[in-house]
Structure 1
């Protein structure tokens, strides 16, 4: 496709990101939709999808180039769901064993809550709240994957290498997730020290998760596996809870850390294997063409 010329892709991406972040802050600190019965900060995500589509249209970037490709999308969605559920099975299992060893485990429970890195808040068991949670997280992954692993990368790669573009996108994705801890501090729910530690944790973990999602997108050639894995990451901690004699989800940080570490390492190994296989194939193709040219 004949793209519109982008003179300064980094400035363009940063400008779009700042605009998204202003919407993000508005909803988190003013509207606070996630603290209402909706339970999700969904307004800026919907706007982000609309804005993404408008910008892509203006730059003449197709939905296929962003990563919303037809073809094996159902397969990759199922693979992403299976992969996400698999690593969280390991993480929940580890949390269960830790709680059991401490003589503190009570039960696993299904209910919808508002997610926080140190705990989960709320206890909603009506079907409507499960549906809202699912819909909200679908909107979330379309917006975040479509922009961070789709639009932003396509813009950045007009000037920078895939590696540089990936690192820039991952850093932006990391900072995207520090608004929550900052709000907790502003609301008096967290100390300054706690806010700093949690923000750094979220920054590093989210950046690494962003790298993982980008590798999945590169390997599969579309956004669908990263979107479905992202969906599991966000949804399962909102609906499946580890209840102990002293509370619920007390080892949330441990669970998330185990899941994301295992997930990142597996995708990293897969990416290196895929890169090596791809490089070998390209070498063979080059050798074949040179041989045909010589003959």
Structure 2
């Protein structure tokens, strides 16, 4: 087996240093404006592209071929699964929230606004919801992938394969998850990237969720050899949770403590999925120190 000691951590440190330096610009702009919608959302888009740009710069510094970032498509079945898995774990979480009354289904005011925006008259709330999910699921995914790509060129294009050479699946999933989650914390703690609960609670739930789903992202990235699995996973996750399941949920009192990426339910489901993909780690190609 290949000796993990020969793989230096220096490329990772270069990448993280550049990412932090570039991200600091957009952290400042977002925090100064106080909202993720600052700059009409362009500050957030800029932040999301910092890891990707940093990866490209790092590859240039290391004199590596940019094609090594995993641009090939790979087997299409992995791309389909990447789209469906976030829908699956989000649906499990939100069904539990709705069934146990932690939040209500559905938000009539949100659906009323959707109906008015479609301009189709009294088409019925059920039809409005279905139409919204279908249209957003198709066209919204394309838009969501544009922003997710910026992060994923860095996180799963560069960082995960680099860590995997040295640490294998389990440690790579944990380390990349901690880094990925921590990168979000400035805007979680000092801007409005949360669902209205206390910062410590939102941060705890968010970090558990991100570390958990990192096992999914790492597994698909290594199994498929394709960066696009992570892009689709990320796009589907953001789209269905932030734009479909959460807006459709009504507040029953303490709903903010259960929904979205900052409530407790999704992290619990995320841990279950993490354990499942951890049990499938031996189906990946061998890597040093894989445990």
TM-score for both structures, normalised by structure 2: 0.68
Aligned equivalents of 2:264, 2:23: Cα separation in 1: 25
1:291 corresponds to:
none
Q: Assess if the C-alpha contact under 8 Å between 2:82 and 2:230 holds in 1.
A: yes
Unaligned segments of structure 2, at least 5 residues? 1-6, 119-135, 287-291
Q: Is residue 107 of structure 1 aligned with residue 106 of structure 2?
A: yes
How much has 1:198 moved relative to structure 2? 2.2
Q: Which has the larger radius of gyration?
A: 1
How much has 1:147 moved relative to structure 2? 0.9
Unaligned segments of structure 1, at least 5 residues? 113-121, 280-295
2:216 corresponds to:
212
Aligned equivalents of 1:27, 1:234: Cα separation in 2: 22
Higher-strand-fraction structure: 1
User: Relative to 1, partners in 2 of residues 1:35 and 1:105: Cα closer, same or farther, differing over 3 Å?
Assistant: same
Q: Assess if the C-alpha contact under 8 Å between 1:42 and 1:136 holds in 2.
A: no
1:200 corresponds to:
204
Aligned equivalents of 1:213, 1:231: Cα separation in 2: 12
1:269 corresponds to:
276
User: Relative to 1, partners in 2 of residues 1:70 and 1:110: Cα closer, same or farther, differing over 3 Å?
Assistant: farther
Q: Per-residue displacement from partner, 1:50-94 (whole Å, max 9, x unpaired)?
A: 34323324434444432221332x432221111111222212211
Q: Per-residue displacement from partner, 1:104-156 (whole Å, max 9, x unpaired)?
A: 735256969xxxxxxxxx999858xx699656532332122221122123444
Q: Secondary structure at the match of 1:34?
A: coil
Q: Assess if the C-alpha contact under 8 Å between 2:202 and 2:263 holds in 1.
A: no
In the alignment of these two chains, the number of paired residues is 256
Q: Secondary structure at the match of 1:69?
A: coil
Counterpart among 149, 157, 161 of residue 167 in structure 2:
161
Instruction: Compute the RMSD of aligned alpha carbons.
Output: 4.2
Higher alpha-carbon deviation: 84-93 or 166-175: 166-175
